[in-house]
């Protein structure tokens, strides 16, 4: 067991790229075909609302802010920014609600108690979230986030 504790973490790049590629395809299915800054899409599934808002569009990339809303939030709800790289056809979580930039690898332990493989975890979570919206989501009107704190 001691051997496992001292073994350094290495990013599984091929697995991470597969996640990026599938997230790109899923996210494109939920966004408008020619997104513009400010475009918003909302999906309701299992009494929760998921909102995707286009924050930036450049020649080769699109930045999308994604958040989850609930009428009565019991715990902090996920928020993240995802950058789509159109030339490579991949989407990666750029920032998450508690991290301004998600790094490929974190030292552990650290002051924020971020896991060594936080980037892989948050990108897999995005994939699960997008799959859930695609399978069970119903398109709804955009959220009024000014009312939520």
Number of Cα atoms under 13 Å in the Cβ half of residue 33? 0
SS3 content of the chain, % helix, strand, coil (to 5): 30, 30, 40
pLDDT digits (tens, 9 = 90+) for 27-77: 999 999 899 999 999 998 887 888 999 999 999 999 999 998 776 666 667
Predicted pLDDT at 88 = 97
**pTM for the full model?**
0.77
**pLDDT tens-digit readout, 97-146:** 665 555 555 555 556 656 677 788 889 989 999 999 999 988 886 656 55
């Amino acid at each position: 067991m001691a051997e496992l504790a001292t073994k350094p973490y290495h990013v599984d790049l091929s697995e991470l790229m597969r996640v990026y590629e599938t997230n790109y395809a899923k996210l494109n299915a939920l966004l408008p075909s020619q997104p513009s800054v400010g475009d918003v899409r909302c999906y309701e599934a299992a009494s929760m609302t998921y909102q995707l808002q286009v924050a930036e569009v450049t020649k080769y990339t699109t930045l999308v802010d994604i958040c989850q809303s609930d009428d009565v939030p019991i715990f902090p709800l996920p928020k993240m920014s995802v950058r789509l790289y159109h030339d490579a056809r991949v989407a990666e979580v750029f920032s998450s609600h508690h991290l301004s930039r998600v790094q490929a690898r974190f030292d552990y332990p650290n002051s924020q108690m971020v896991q060594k493989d936080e980037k892989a975890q948050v990108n897999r979570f995005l994939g699960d979230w997008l799959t859930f919206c695609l399978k069970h989501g119903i398109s709804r009107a955009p959220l009024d986030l000014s009312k939520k704190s």
